[in-house]
Amino acid sequence: MKILVFSDSHGMLENISSAFKSNDFDAVIFLGDGLTDLQTLSQIKKDIPIYAVRGNCDFFAGPVPEIMMPELNGKKIFMTHGHLQYVKSGIYNLKMTAKESGAHAVLYGHTHLPFYEEDCGLIVANPGSALKGCYAVMTIDENIKFEFKNKYD
């Protein structure tokens, strides 16, 4: 399973529309701060499932959860924007919450910085900010692989 992962587009629709149009993927994960962008892009590929959480700047996005944990291809993915776990001050709270929930991976945004770490079997990743052209592709088979991309590559 191949998943397009992005966060923090903040209205820069063109930075994610090229990734949306040019990549072959099975699902989309959006980690907040730009849900109105996602609503526009969802019209491009209507048959692709989209998993999204609300960010601290998603004021008028409707009933979107702040935390979600879908099971994708047999792996539990803990999704959050990160502001509720204070990720700008560190990711300890985020990792503990994800581990307690039984997640295989935790994905977050908010900091606008790409990040990847494996900690005792838990993958912790941030795709960076789509505002800056950053996104990621996550592949889930027997393992989870996370590859950073940039619209300028």
CB count in 10 Å sphere of residue 141: 11
Q: What is the CATH number of domain 2-150?
A: 3.60.21.10
* 153 band by pLDDT with thresholds 50, 70 and 90: low
- Assess contact for 41 and 13: CB atoms under 8 A: yes
pLDDT at 12 over 70: yes
Mean of per-residue pLDDT scores for the chain: 92
Q: Where are the domains of the chain?
A: 2-150
DSSP readout, 75-111? EEEEEE-SGGGTGGG-SHHHHHHHHHTT-SEEE--SS
Question: Long-range contacts: 48-56, Cβ < 8 Å, 24+?
Answer: 51/27, 51/77, 51/79, 52/28, 53/79, 53/80, 53/81, 54/81, 55/7, 55/8, 55/31, 55/81, 55/83, 55/109, 55/110, 56/32, 56/81, 56/83, 56/110
Of 79, 89, 93, 84, nearest in space to 126 by CA: 79
More confident residue, 46 or 116: 116
